[in-house]
């Protein structure tokens, strides 16, 4: 029977870390070809893999290479798994922050963090002492912009001033955790990490803004951060009317330009004293108006049902599970699909399911009408 069956296929270039694939359904059968591994046939690679829901989460049946020959094997953890996310604040494991390094961006040491570029993380308790550390960054969703190595990563925050003190020796309260599904609604509200004033205004954000050209935006900037002249209210020309800006350029996933002349505005700063942290409100930019990725037009050569998309990192455009949407400020992106994990085969720990960085992987996923015992 195929009346209600669903099928999807695609490809991606592996980073060596677990790969999330968003779909408009949760599959019950998955198959995978690692084209790079199949072409090279070096030792300890997984050219082919399969998964059925009856195996359970995290399993896989694989063929792995022993030189030029293929043998069958299994993966019993961190294999294929499916997910369906309907709650925004779902988190990964809480991890200890060992140390940090301040700068125009901020680096954190977390032993075996497991994060990849594009992941969104949340810090808490970044105190070195009761009066020092980086607690100004607590509670802000940050996109990981660089993974230095297995124990270090970088986020987009300027801590290069005397208000911040490097963390060291694993402060007991300093923790970090991954936000598993950060884009269930987008564009959403994004914390501002930097503002460049001028005849137009350039905004940097701590996590992906997901704005597009033509987007209408509003600003909420408490006075201690500066540049309060961008705030939606008050409007000195038309009292009671909000002041909005329009996105005229998108530089990358966390930088965009609005059509506001801020040449005479107060400079933005992240130099907030640790003593100001209790009750601290963050500078935010939020989508308003009618034009964003919430309505993708059907035109010649386009998909029949083009879904809205978001851009969590600069080189990635990710389709949502939705079909054509009414244009509006926010898109519902309830997330589901499957994950290809970085689990290794039972017979050879060097044979990794998701492959090595730069491997080209093709996949197919199915949801069948019936499952017969």
Written as tens digits, the pLDDT of the chain (373 aa) is: 466 788 999 999 998 988 988 887 899 999 999 999 999 888 899 999 999 999 999 999 999 999 878 999 999 999 999 988 766 578 999 999 999 999 999 999 999 999 989 999 999 999 999 999 999 999 999 999 999 999 999 999 999 999 999 999 999 999 999 998 888 888 878 999 999 999 999 999 999 999 988 888 999 999 999 999 999 988 777 787 888 999 999 999 999 999 999 999 999 999 999 999 999 999 999 998 765 666 666 777 777 777 778 888 877 777 777 767 766 778 877 778 899 999 999 999 999 999 999 999 999 999 998 877 6
| CB 341 within 8 Å of CB 70 | no
Residue carrying structure tokens 């230095």: 148
Question: Which pLDDT score, from 0 to 100, does residue 229 have?
Answer: 94
> What ranges in the chain are assigned the alpha helix state H?
35-40
| CB 7 within 8 Å of CB 365 | yes
| Rounded Cα distance, 194 and 156, in Å | 9
Two structure tokens written together for 251:
């530089």
Question: Which pLDDT score, from 0 to 100, does residue 45 have?
Answer: 94
- Domains in the chain, ordered, with CATH? 6-85+336-367 (no CATH), 95-179 (2.40.30.20), 183-333 (2.40.30.180)
What are the CA-CA distances from residue 42 to residues 64, 65, 66, 72, 132 (Å)? Answer: 10, 7, 8, 16, 51
Indicate the SS3 state at residue 69: strand
pTM exceeds 0.75? yes
| Rounded Cα distance, 12 and 10, in Å | 7
Question: Which pLDDT score, from 0 to 100, does residue 78 have?
Answer: 94
Question: Which pLDDT score, from 0 to 100, does residue 329 have?
Answer: 78
Indicate the SS3 state at residue 225: helix
The number of beta carbons lying within 10 Å of the beta carbon of residue 174 is: 27
Instruction: Classify residue 135 as left (phi > 0), alpha (psi -120 to 50) or beta.
Output: alpha
59: closest CA among 38, 81, 91? 81
| CB 156 within 8 Å of CB 180 | no
The number of beta carbons lying within 10 Å of the beta carbon of residue 141 is: 19
Question: Which pLDDT score, from 0 to 100, does residue 291 have?
Answer: 59
């Amino acid at each position: 029977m195929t009346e209600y069956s669903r099928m999807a296929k695609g490809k991606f270039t592996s980073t060596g870390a677990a790969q999330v694939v968003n779909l408009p359904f949760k599959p019950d059968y998955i198959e995978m070809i690692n084209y790079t591994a199949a072409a090279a046939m070096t030792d300890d690679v997984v050219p082919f893999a399969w998964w059925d829901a009856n195996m359970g989460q995290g399993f896989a049946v694989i063929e792995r290479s022993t030189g030029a020959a293929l043998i069958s094997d299994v993966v019993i953890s961190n294999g294929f798994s499916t997910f369906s996310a309907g709650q925004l604040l779902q988190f990964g494991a809480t991890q200890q922050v060992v140390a940090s390094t301040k700068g125009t961006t901020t680096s954190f040491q977390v032993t075996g963090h497991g994060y990849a570029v594009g992941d969104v993380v949340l810090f808490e308790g970044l105190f070195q002492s009761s009066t020092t550390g980086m607690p100004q960054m607590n509670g802000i969703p940050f996109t990981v912009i660089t993974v230095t190595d297995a124990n270090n990563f970088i986020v987009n925050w300027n801590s290069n001033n005397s208000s911040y003190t490097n963390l060291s020796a694993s402060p007991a309260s300093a923790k970090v955790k991954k936000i598993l599904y950060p884009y269930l609604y987008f564009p959403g509200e994004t914390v501002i990490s930097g503002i460049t004033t001028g005849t137009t205004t350039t905004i940097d954000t701590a996590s992906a803004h997901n704005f597009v050209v033509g987007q209408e935006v509003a600003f909420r900037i408490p006075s201690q951060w500066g540049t309060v002249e961008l705030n939606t209210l008050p409007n000195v020309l038309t009292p009671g009317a909000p002041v909005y800006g329009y996105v005229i350029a998108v530089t990358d996933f966390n930088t965009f330009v609005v059509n506001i002349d801020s040449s005479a505005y107060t400079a933005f700063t992240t130099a907030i004293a640790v003593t100001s942290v209790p009750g601290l409100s963050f500078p935010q930019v939020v989508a308003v108006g009618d034009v964003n990725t919430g309505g993708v037009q059907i035109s010649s050569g386009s998909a029949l049902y083009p879904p809205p998309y978001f851009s969590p990192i600069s080189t990635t455009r990710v389709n949502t599970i939705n079909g054509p949407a009414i244009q509006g400020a926010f898109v519902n992106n309830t997330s589901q699909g499957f994950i290809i994990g970085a689990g290794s085969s039972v017979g050879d720990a060097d044979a990794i399911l998701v492959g090595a960085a730069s491997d080209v992987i093709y996949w197919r996923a199915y949801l069948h009408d019936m499952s017969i015992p």
